[in-house]
C-alpha cells in the first residue's frame, strides 16, 4: 500500500502545465478552453518558476481529456515532455554517471515536476525496478499520469539505446485498452495490464552502464538548481518519504530500526518523529505500507515461496508474515496468490529470473 497524503495541498511548478496547454493549442484547442475553471491564468504560465496546486493540474488534465476525447493523451504528452521546461533538471539526468543515477535524480525532481508522484527504485537480479506511487490521489488523472511516465521513460531509454528500450517491461494497474495500437510509436517494450501496482523494469546491465554524456560538474549545477526548486515549492515531505522508502527497500530481508533511520538521515529520533507526524504518518505506518506493497508484488509477479517472501520482507517467522498479510487483505498469502492467478493476469509466467521470456 502506498502512502497517500490526506489533503492535496501539494504545490508544483507551472512548467508541465504550460507544455500541456501549448500542446493542446497546437492540436487546435484554444488556451481559454484548456484553462476553463482551473483558476490558472495565462499570465501565470509565462514563467515556469511560478507555482500552482496539484488540484489545479488535475483540473487542467480533465479539460485536456475532455477536449481531445483521448483517454491515452498522456502518452503523447509524455513523449513530448521529457523534462521540457526544466533545462537544468534535464541536464542533471542525462549528465549522470549511470542511468540508475539518472533515475534517482529524476525521482528527486518529481517533487517539483509533479509532487503527487514518487518513484520507489529497487534492484533485482536482472532488473532495476521503478515502482510508480501516488502521494496524493490522482483520481480521474490516474491513467494520464501513468502514461506520461511510461512514455517519458521510453524516450529517455531510447535516447541512449533504442535496442534496450525494447527490453523494458511495463506493469500497469489499469485494464488493457480495446485497441492496444494506441501505444504504437510511444512504447516499444513489453506491456502487462491489470497488475496491482505500476512498475517499470529496466535491464540492470543498461542501468549500470556509464552514460556517454556524464558530466559531474553539470550534475552538481543541476543539484543546486533542484534544491532551489524544492525550497520554492516547499514539498519537503516528499524528500523525507523518498529517503526512508529507499532505505527500507535497499536490502532484502532487512528492516532498519527507527534509530538507524534517524541516524542515516542525520536527525534525532524526536525530530524524525515530529517531521513524520507533521505529514500524518509514522515510521511504523511507512514500514507496514512498504511491506504490504512488496508482498503484493512478490505474490502476484514472482514464483518466490511464501517463506522466501517473508524473509525478504524482514519477518523472522513466516507465520507472522501470514498474520500481517491477512490483516491487510483479509486473505492468506497463498489465498491471495491463487485468487490473483485465477483472475488471469498471467503473473505465473513472470519471475525475476525469466521476466523477458
pLDDT recorded at residue 11: 81
Q: Which residues pair with 119 in a beta bridge?
A: 132
Mean pLDDT (the chain) is 84
Helix (H) or strand (E) segment spanning residue 352: none
pLDDT recorded at residue 237: 61
Q: Tell me, which fold does domain 251-348 have in CATH?
A: Arc Repressor Mutant, subunit A (1.10.10)
The domain segmentation of the chain, as residue ranges, is: 11-207, 251-348
pLDDT recorded at residue 89: 66
- 3-state class (DSSP) for residue 257: coil
Task: Check: CB of residue 198 under 8 Å from CB of residue 132.
Answer: yes
From the list 3, 276, 252, the residue with the least C-alpha distance to 122 is 252
Q: Cell for 92?
A: 542533471
**DSSP strand pairing (51-53 vs 169-171):** unpaired
Q: pTM of the predicted model, to two decimals?
A: 0.73
- Give me the residue label for grid cell 476525447: 69
Task: Check: CB of residue 158 under 8 Å from CB of residue 188.
Answer: yes
pLDDT recorded at residue 204: 94
Where does the chain have alpha helices with state H? Answer: 15-26, 31-35, 54-68, 73-81, 87-94, 99-113, 142-160, 162-165, 204-207, 216-233, 236-249, 258-264, 269-278, 283-301, 306-312, 318-329, 333-343
pLDDT recorded at residue 322: 94
- 3-state class (DSSP) for residue 133: strand
CB hemisphere CA count around 90 (13 angstroms) = 13
Residues in the chain predicted with pLDDT less than 50, given as ranges, are: 1-8, 83-85, 343-357
Please determine, looking at this structure, whether the domain spanning 11-207 carries the CATH number 3.40.50.1860.
Answer: no
How confident is the model over 27-82, as pLDDT tens digits?
999 999 999 999 999 998 887 778 888 999 999 999 999 999 999 999 999 988 75
pLDDT recorded at residue 199: 94
Task: Check: CB of residue 272 under 8 Å from CB of residue 297.
Answer: no
pLDDT recorded at residue 88: 62
Amino acid at each position: 500500500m502506498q502512502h497517500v497524503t490526506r489533503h492535496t495541498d501539494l504545490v508544483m511548478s507551472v512548467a508541465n502545465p504550460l507544455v500541456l496547454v501549448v500542446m493542446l493549442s497546437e492540436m487546435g484547442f484554444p488556451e481559454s478552453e484548456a484553462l476553463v475553471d482551473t483558476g490558472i491564468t495565462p499570465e501565470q504560465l509565462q514563467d515556469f518558476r511560478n507555482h500552482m496546486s496539484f488540484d489545479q493540474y488535475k483540473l487542467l488534465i480533465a479539460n485536456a481529456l475532455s477536449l481531445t476525447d483521448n483517454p491515452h493523451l498522456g502518452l503523447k504528452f509524455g513523449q513530448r515532455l521529457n523534462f521540457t521546461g526544466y533545462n537544468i533538471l534535464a541536464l542533471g539526468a542525462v549528465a549522470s554517471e549511470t542511468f540508475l543515477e539518472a533515475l534517482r535524480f529524476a525521482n528527486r525532481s518529481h517533487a517539483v515536476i509533479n509532487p503527487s508522484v514518487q518513484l520507489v527504485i529497487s534492484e533485482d537480479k536482472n532488473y532495476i525496478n521503478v515502482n510508480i506511487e501516488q502521494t496524493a490521489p490522482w483520481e480521474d488523472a490516474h491513467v494520464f499520469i501513468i502514461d506520461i511516465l511510461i512514455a517519458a521513460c521510453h524516450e529517455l531509454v531510447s535516447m541512449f539505446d533504442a535496442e534496450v528500450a525494447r527490453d523494458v517491461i511495463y506493469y500497469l494497474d489499469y485494464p488493457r485498452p480495446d485497441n492496444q495500437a494506441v501505444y504504437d510509436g510511444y512504447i516499444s517494450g513489453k506491456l502487462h495490464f491489470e497488475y496491482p501496482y505500476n512498475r517499470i523494469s529496466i535491464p540492470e546491465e543498461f542501468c549500470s552502464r556509464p552514460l556517454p554524456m556524464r558530466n559531474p560538474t553539470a550534475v552538481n549545477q543541476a543539484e543546486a538548481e533542484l534544491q532551489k526548486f524544492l525550497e520554492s515549492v516547499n514539498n519537503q515531505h516528499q524528500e523525507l518519504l523518498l529517503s526512508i522508502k529507499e532505505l527500507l527497500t535497499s536490502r532484502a530481508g532487512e528492516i532498519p530500526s527507527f534509530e538507524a533511520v534517524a541516524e542515516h538521515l542525520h536527525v534525532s529520533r524526536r525530530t524524525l518523529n515530529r517531521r513524520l507526524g507533521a505529514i500524518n504518518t509514522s515510521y511504523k505506518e511507512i514500514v507496514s505500507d512498504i511491506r504490504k506493497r512488496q508482498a503484493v508484488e512478490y505474490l502476484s509477479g514472482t514464483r518466490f515461496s511464501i517463506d522466501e517472501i517473508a524473509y525478504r520482507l524482514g519477518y523472522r517467522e513466516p507465520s507472522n508474515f501470514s498474520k500481517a498479510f491477512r490483516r491487510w487483505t483479509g486473505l492468506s498469502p497463498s489465498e491471495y496468490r491463487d485468487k490473483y492467478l485465477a483472475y488471469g493476469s498471467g503473473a505465473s509466467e513472470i519471475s525475476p529470473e525469466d521476466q523477458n521470456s
